[in-house]
């Protein structure tokens, strides 16, 4: 596992190099997707082994069917006890552990359903009290308290994507509007700092622009009837400094407003810490000063689903290829266009990771 994680980290570092070409970036993205899938499978295998060992240690059996019969026997012992509240609480704590090591939300719901069915069948004066404990939202709270990172929620989306991009952008906008920040992100931080984390995440996901572009170089301008991103950082000699402003699920005005707010905060911070402004910092200095902090914030916002800022470009490319594809384009053409790469007129005009 460590070898795979180290390899994944090295690939992300490769993406950050200025000399990486558009074609090389595509190859690296493919390698990253394969590695992430391999790591996910290994995590699940390790997870299943831990669950089996836990079942044997706590219950003396190996599977949920046998655990449910133990639950039935224990519930029957207390179902009509007049002063059995403490035992009800202990029963819940004991058997909620059986769903702690499950790998997906459907599996958790299924196992909770098994317990509720037994409670309905057996009845008793504690029926409603115990049954109400075994509902999904209450159990999530209990499980999180027992072990914070044990439940791995697997979204039913593209196998290379941890969430639906449209839903995620809508959710983050709602968080910014209502100030309902994730505790792990907001803890010991002032509100402006927390907002800057969410805004940078939202802009990376909706625009597909690189870290330094969002923090400093990119601006949105009107050109004719359309809008463009000006200030694109070139990765090869054929790449343009400006491209169409293809933005996912945010308006031009919203995007401009978020860029303005983020940069105003960063400038204010720089004035107090470095006595400089964004304009005075090079691209390398911006990355060195802010990338680690904001990459860690994105991990916390997404519950470790997104390892760093550059991964957002991958999500944007996959979603954007479907949203912005023109009738006369191949998927590869669309991807190159929206990312700002040069479209090479050759025979290899397909990109197999985008269907």
* Banded pLDDT at 213 (limits 50, 70, 90): very high
Token digits of residue 249: 């699920």
Contact 295, 287 (CB under 8 A): no
* Residue 276: alpha-carbon gap to chain centroid: 33
Give the per-residue pLDDT at 133: 72
Fold of 157-339: hpI Integrase; Chain A (1.10.443)
Residue with more model confidence, 278 or 344: 278
Contact between 316 and 123 (Cβ < 8 Å) = no
Percent of the chain with pLDDT over 90: 25
- Compute φ and ψ for 243, nearest 5 degrees: -140, 165
Arithmetic mean of pLDDT, 99-104: 61
Give the E-state strand segments of 168-269 in sequence order. 219-223, 226-230, 242-244
> Assign residue 247 a region: left if phi > 0, alpha if psi is -120 to 50, beta otherwise?
beta
CB 143 within 8 A of CB 150: yes
- DSSP letter at 252? H
**d(C-alpha 67, C-alpha 59), whole Å:** 7
Per residue in 147-168, pLDDT tens? 433 333 333 334 456 778 888 9
Cβ burial, residue 261 (10 Å; 0-12/13-18/19+): middle
Does pLDDT of 27 surpass 80? no
Collapsing DSSP states into helix, strand and coil, what is residue 49?
helix
Per-domain boundaries in the chain: 59-146, 157-339
User: For the whole prediction, is pTM greater than 0.95?
Assistant: no
| Whether pLDDT at 127 is above 80 | yes
Lowest average pLDDT, out of 92-106, 198-212, 272-286, 316-330, goes to: 92-106
Mean pLDDT score of the chain: 79
CA distance 287 to 249: 27
């Amino acid at each position: 596992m460590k070898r795979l994680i180290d390899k994944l980290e090295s690939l992300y570092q490769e993406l950050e190099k200025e000399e990486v070409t558009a074609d090389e970036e595509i190859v690296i993205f493919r390698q990253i997707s394969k590695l992430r899938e391999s790591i996910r499978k290994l995590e699940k295998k390790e997870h299943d082994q831990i669950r089996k060992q836990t079942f044997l240690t706590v219950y003396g059996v190996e599977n949920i069917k046998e655990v449910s019969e133990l639950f039935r026997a224990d519930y029957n012992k207390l179902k009509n006890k007049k002063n059995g509240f403490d035992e009800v609480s202990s029963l819940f704590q004991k058997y909620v552990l059986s769903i702690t090591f499950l790998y997906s939300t459907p599996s958790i719901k299924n196992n909770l359903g098994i317990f509720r069915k037994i409670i309905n069948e057996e009845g008793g004066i504690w029926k409603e009290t115990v049954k109400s404990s075994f509902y999904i939202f209450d159990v999530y709270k209990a499980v999180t308290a027992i072990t914070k990172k044990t439940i791995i929620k697997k979204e039913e989306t593209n196998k290379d994507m941890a969430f639906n991009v449209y839903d995620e952008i809508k959710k983050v906008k709602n968080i910014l509007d209502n100030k309902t920040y994730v505790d792990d992100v907001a803890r010991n931080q002032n509100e402006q700092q927390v907002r800057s984390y969410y805004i940078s995440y939202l802009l990376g996901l909706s625009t597909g622009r690189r870290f330094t572009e969002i923090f400093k170089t990119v601006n949105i301008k009107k050109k004719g009837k359309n809008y463009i991103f000006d200030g694109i950082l070139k990765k090869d000699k054929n790449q343009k400094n400006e491209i169409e402003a293809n933005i996912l699920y945010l308006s031009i005005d919203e995007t401009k407003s978020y860029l303005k707010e983020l940069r105003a905060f960063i400038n204010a911070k720089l004035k107090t810490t470095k006595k400089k402004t964004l304009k005075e910092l090079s691209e390398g200095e911006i990355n060195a000063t802010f990338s680690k902090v904001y990459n860690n914030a994105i991990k916390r916002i997404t519950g470790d689903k997104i390892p760093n800022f550059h991964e957002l470009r991958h999500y944007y490319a996959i979603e954007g290829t479907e949203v912005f594809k023109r009738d006369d384009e191949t998927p590869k053409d669309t991807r190159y266009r929206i990312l700002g790469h040069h479209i090479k007129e050759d025979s290899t005009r397909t990109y197999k990771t985008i269907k």
